[in-house]
Amino acid sequence: MLRKKSCSESNARDMLDMHINMVGNVLNTSLKTIILYLQDDIVKAKKNARLVDKLETEADNILRDFTRCLCAGAFLPLFRKNIFQMVVSVDDVANAAEAACDFCLSQRPEIPKALRGAFDDITHANMEMFPLLSEAVENLKLGTFGRAADDEMLFQKVVTNISMHESNIDDLEWKLTRDIFNTNLPLANKMHLQALLSHITKVSDLIEDVSDRLYIMFTREAL
């Protein structure tokens, strides 16, 4: 168990960086598992899925240590609740990615070859969003005032890019949903594919939610 004297703001920032990196590993490994599934490489997909479970557990452990650090006094009380809620929302991204991975390998949806390219595009688009979120967290100097103007412009640019990526994924989701229900597949198969699509796109929705939370934190610190 962490001792209070070891839980400085510097310790907390290090844990935050570790957690962000681990969530990124969970996300990338989960979505790569889905890509392997699309390629019918079930053996590698299963191996990746086991790694996802291990990485997600490590992310949870880091989150618990970070929470103890906050409780031990890291950051000013004014900021702790918002910081905690932000980190938990980042962890939700890892949970959603793992759930999408588990859905593929536990339910094995039958994906027609004509639709696999679109599923692959959406999966890759989700993977491209997380580095932007990581950059936004890095540019948000938690618990500080007097942010320089160039920092503000950079932060807002990253947040805007996240919103644009999420909007693009929404468009891809709409088109793939249309294509799914325009096939001659039985309705049960269509609903199964739609459920898989919802699992994948939930990742981008949650990333945008974290981005919105970061922007609110940024605004509060600037006031």
Ordered DSSP codes for 42-101: HHHHHHHHHHHHHHHHHHHHHHHHHHHHHHTT-S-HHHHHHHHHHHHHHHHHHHHHHHHH
Q: What is the mean pLDDT of residues 83-98?
A: 94
Confidence of residue 220 (pLDDT cuts 50, 70, 90): low
Give me the mean pLDDT over the 18-45 stretch: 95
Nearest to 216 by CA among 86, 76, 80, 129: 86
**Are residues 213 and 168 in contact, defined by beta-carbon separation less than 8 angstroms?**
no
Per residue in 107-136, pLDDT tens? 999 999 999 999 999 999 999 999 999 888
Alpha carbon distance 160, 208 (integer Å): 10
Q: How would you class 204 by CB atoms within 10 Å of its CB: exposed for 0-12, middle for 13-18, buried for 19 or more?
A: buried
Stated pTM of the model: 0.88
pLDDT of residue 154: 80
Residue 103 CA to residue 196 CA, distance in Å, equals 7
Domain that holds residue 77: 4-222
Distance CA 29, CA 51 (A): 8
Contact call for residues 32 and 44 (beta carbons, < 8 A)? no
Q: For the chain, what is the domain count?
A: 1
Convert the pLDDT of each residue in 145-204 to its tens digit: 445 445 677 878 888 999 999 999 999 999 999 999 999 999 999 999 999 999 999 999
Contact criterion met (CB below 8 Å) for 202 and 125: no
Tokens for 8, please give them.
């400085």
Q: Check which CATH number belongs to the domain holding 172 and give it.
A: 1.20.58.220
